[in-house]
Amino acid sequence: MSEASAHVVHHGPPTSFIRKHVFSLDHKVIGKQYYALALVAVVTGMVLSWLMRIHLIAPNWPIPGLQWLSKVGAPGGVMTPEYYLSLMTMHGTLMVFFVLTNAPFAAFGNYFLPIQIGAEDMAFPRFNMMSFWTTFIAFCILVAAFFVPDGPPLAGWTAYAPLSAVGKDAGPGEGLGQTLWGLSIFVFCIASLLGSLNFIATTLDLRTKGMTLARMPIVSWAWFITSCIALLAFAVLLPACLLLILDRIGGTSFFIPSGLNISDHLQPHQGGSPLLWQHLFWFFGHPEVYIAILPAIGIVSHILINSMRKPMLSHKTIIYCMMGIGFLSYMVWGHHMFLSGMNPFSALVFSFPTLMITIPATIMTLIWLGSLYGSNLRINTASLFCLGFISMFVSGGVSGFFLAQPSIDIYLHATYFVVGHFHMVMGVAAIFGVFAGTYFWFPKMTGRMMSERLGRLHFWLTFIGTYCIFMPFHYLGLAGNVRRYSAFTDDFLVPLIPVHKFITYSALFTGAVQLVFIFNLIYSHFKGAIAPANPWEATSLEWSTPSSPPPFDNFGGKHPVVYHDPYQYGVKSSTGDYLMQDSPERAGETP
């Protein structure tokens, strides 16, 4: 099956500029487009977080130039409370959807999944192009919400109803901007569904000769599992967004109950349920966390094995753990809703599988650690980010152990403890995976090496900086510091402002450090040293292509044949201590 379809040539090489770089069918170009979009989104999201952090420690300070961005949202440069919440909503939405879903999954997955399994392209190249451009439309709709008269939406990335559903009575930021938010996510869901179908079909149908499922690299497995999760998760968010939009503009009442009086206006709705939105949203929302983190786990494991120069203790166990996490991710959404008013007994039911997720997560961590033992670890920027990932994954993971327990959640729910937890485990850890992937695969994607000196500088400062930002969030949470506040005026919050100052300065510093990365990316793209064919002495098929970047059909008209498991490191061979997957040679004994 796989052999036959792998020989199908989907499309010829593109000739015009537009077909080559804009409306390209080539999965590699589409992968880079996803990466570029994620880069734009992450820079925007980061600047928003800067503005928020500055506002939090100086709420009445006119931020120079901010009035230019929004005259109503920041009159005279002083940010209004609603504009803070709008920036927070846009930050969350951009980061979760357009960065954490796009970069590790859609961008790298598009580029490397077909190559790693020896295919010429994705199964449905036109679908693939459509999913990128649909994502791009979703992005444009979201950004448009910045510029509507009522201001950008402010209901948070979770858009809890009825605040998000009742319309402009609920205050500024709940007018057209919120409708655009719903529309943007609706369109994003369509794009993600198309994308994940394509990933699944590609993985199942286009593997080259000898590339059994068991011989797929971990990271391809991660993308495959992630697409299965995404297919089910976005399929739920899609109708949820449709219902939300209908409540807003169609006069329906799916999420709005009777008898609400907002701003002295009695609402005409009746019979809806706010909890329905929460269930639908989190049924998507929790798996979404794993959509962000599983590809990063895959990338990090893939790179780490290469850097350690020996196989993982059991890389299959990691794959099983990813499957386990993916499966459990559909049984735990209620842990976001312990205090939401749902039946308190169900909190215990949701708590149990949540605590169980610790088991596969711990197994993975132990395997990474156990594999590092006695390895011949090559330190470079990519492997440093992998190590940083493990550290962050552990730090963000242990705080999950608190929040998984309903009794502790009574105190910590909706505090900065939660903010620290998810930023570390899903934000920073996933981004470290993206950084590792970037430094590792850049030579393949561009034919040039990134500057190692700048890369290491970037790593050290980012690693220390992110800990300085996100660790103190946990301390704030223990003191009961409530999240989503645009200013800390409560008696018990005022004494905590010094901690917020520390976080803000750390965030400004760490954000500025990312300029080193962007400079490195651009500089190395044009001026970097020419990359050797296999700079990391890696084994998987992406390093078997005839050139870097690979030709439009990836393997120059040939079809690689796979003879080995993906990670033949620490062996004796004619190439050194490793054996490539498509090398017919048999490995000698372990040196």
Partner 1 sequence: MRVSKPCIAVLVATLCPALMFGGTISGKVTYTGTPVKQKPIDMGKEPSCAKQHATPITTETVVTGANNVLENVVVYISAGADDTTVPSQAVTFTQKGCQYIPHVVVLHTGQELQVVNADQTSHNIHPMPTVNREWNKSQPPGSPNLSEKFDQPEFIKVKCNIHPWMAGRFAVLKTSHYSITGDSGGFSLPNLPPGKYTITAWHEDYGTQTQDVTITGNETKSIDFSFKAKAY
Partner 2 sequence: MGGKLFAVILVVIALASAVPIVSHTFMGANVSLPEDISTHGHDIDKQLDETMIEAGLSFLAAQLVLAFFVFQSGGRNGVLKNFPGGAKYLVVAAVLLVGAEAIALGAMGTKAWGKVYFEPASADALPIQAQAGQFAFYFRYAGPDGKFGVLHPEKIDEGNSNFFGLDPENDIPARDDITSAELVIPANKEVHLMLHAKDVGHSFYVRELRIQQDFVPGLDLSLHFTATKVGKYEIVCTQLCGLGHYNMKAYLNVMSQDDFDKWLKAQSN
Per-residue H/E/C for 265-291? EECCCCCCCHHHHHHHHHHHHHHHHHH
Told to check if 257 binds partner 1 by CB under 8 A, we report: no
Binder among 7, 21, 265, 586 for partner 1 (CB under 8 A):
265
Task: Report how far residue 560's alpha carbon sits from residue 69's, in angstroms, rounded to the nearest whole number.
Answer: 53
Nearest residue (CB) to partner 1, 167 versus 420: 167
CA atoms within 13 A on the CB side of 375: 22
Residue placing its CB nearer to partner 1 in the complex, 151 or 511: 151
Q: Which stretch binds partner 2 (CB under 8 A): 122-130, 181-189, 473-481, 526-534?
A: 473-481
Least distance between partner 1 and beta carbon 153 (Å): 15
Q: Kindly give the residue spans of alpha helices, DSSP state H, lying in 246-343.
A: 274-308, 315-328
Q: Which of residues 34-53 bind partner 2 (CB under 8 A)?
A: none
Closest contact distance (angstroms) between CB of 59 and partner 1 is 7
Binding mask of the shown chain, residues 414 to 443, with x at each position contacting partner 2 by CB under 8 A: xx----------------------------
Q: Does 297 bind partner 2 (CB under 8 A)?
A: no
Under rule CB under 8 A, residue 263 binds partner 2: yes
C-beta of 501 vs 525, nearer to partner 2? 501
Residue 79 binding partner per list partner 1, partner 2, none, with a CB distance cut-off of 5 to 8 Å that depends on partner kind: partner 1
Which one of 40, 69, 78, 394 is in contact with partner 1 (CB under 8 A)? 78
Decide: is 138 part of the binding site for partner 1 (CB under 8 A): no
Q: Which residue stretch of 135-143, 197-205, 288-296, 458-466 sits at the interface with partner 2 (rule: CB under 8 A)?
A: 458-466
Tokens of 427: 């934000």
The span of 21-29, 226-234, 424-432, 455-463 binding partner 2 (CB under 8 A) equals: 455-463
Binding of partner 1 at residue 80 (CB under 8 A)? yes
| Residue 76 interacting entry, from partner 2, partner 1, none, C-beta within 5 to 8 Å by type | partner 1
Residue 314 touching partner 2 (CB under 8 A)? yes
Contact 435, 517 (CB under 8 A): yes
Which one among 3, 5, 20, 81 touches partner 1, defined by CB under 8 A? 81
Q: Are 31 and 107 a contacting pair, CB within 8 Å?
A: yes
Q: Enumerate residues 155-174 that contact partner 2 by CB under 8 A.
A: 155-156, 160-163, 166, 170-174
75 binds, among partner 2, partner 1, none (CB under 5 to 8 A by kind): partner 1
CB closer to partner 1 out of 14 and 77: 77
Beta bridge partners of 579: 568
Q: 579 in helix, strand or coil? A: strand
Query: Which tokens sit at 576?
Result: 């050194």
- Residue 54 C-beta: closest distance to partner 2, Å: 16
Extract the tokens encoding 404. 């998984």
Of 116 and 354, CB closest to partner 2? 354
Taking the least distance from each CB to partner 1, the nearer of 60 and 343 is 60
Does 248 help bind partner 1 (rule: CB under 8 A)? no
Question: Which one of partner 1, partner 2, none is in contact with 236 (Cβ closer than 5 to 8 A by kind)?
Answer: none
- Residue 192 CA to residue 102 CA, distance in Å, equals 9
480 binds partner 2 (CB under 8 A): yes
Angle ∠(132,133,136) on CA atoms, nearest 5: 90
Strand 568-573 relative to strand 265-266, pairing: unpaired
Asked if 86 interacts with partner 1 (CB under 8 A), we say: no
Q: Which residues contact 505 (CB under 8 A, 6 or more apart)?
A: none
Among residues 168, 215, 302, 423, the one that binds partner 1 under rule CB under 8 A? 168
Q: CA-to-CA distance for 28 and 108, rounded, in angstroms?
A: 9
Distances (CA, A) of 445 to 65, 436, 441: 38, 14, 6
Rounded Cα–Cα distance for residues 36 and 106 (Å) = 11
- Let me know: does 329 contact 286? Beta carbons within 8 Å: yes
Angle between helices 27-57 and 81-93 (to 10 degrees): 150
Instruction: State which of positions 464-503 bind partner 1 (CB under 8 A).
Output: 487, 489
Give the one entry of partner 1, partner 2, none that residue 191 binds, where binding means its C-beta sits below a cut-off of 5 to 8 angstroms depending on kind: none
Q: Are strands 261-262 and 576-579 parallel, antiparallel or unpaired?
A: unpaired
Under DSSP, the state recorded for 561 is: -
The H or E element that residue 572 is part of is strand 568-573
Q: Which is nearer to partner 1, 164 or 184 (CB)?
A: 164
Q: Which stretch binds partner 2 (CB under 8 A): 98-106, 213-221, 272-280, 442-450?
A: 272-280
Could you tell me the sign of the dihedral formed by the alpha carbons of 150, 156, 162, 163, in that order? Answer: negative
DSSP element (H, E) containing 228: helix 218-245
Site of interaction with partner 1 (CB under 8 A): 59-60, 62, 72, 75-76, 78-83, 168, 171-172, 263-265, 487, 489
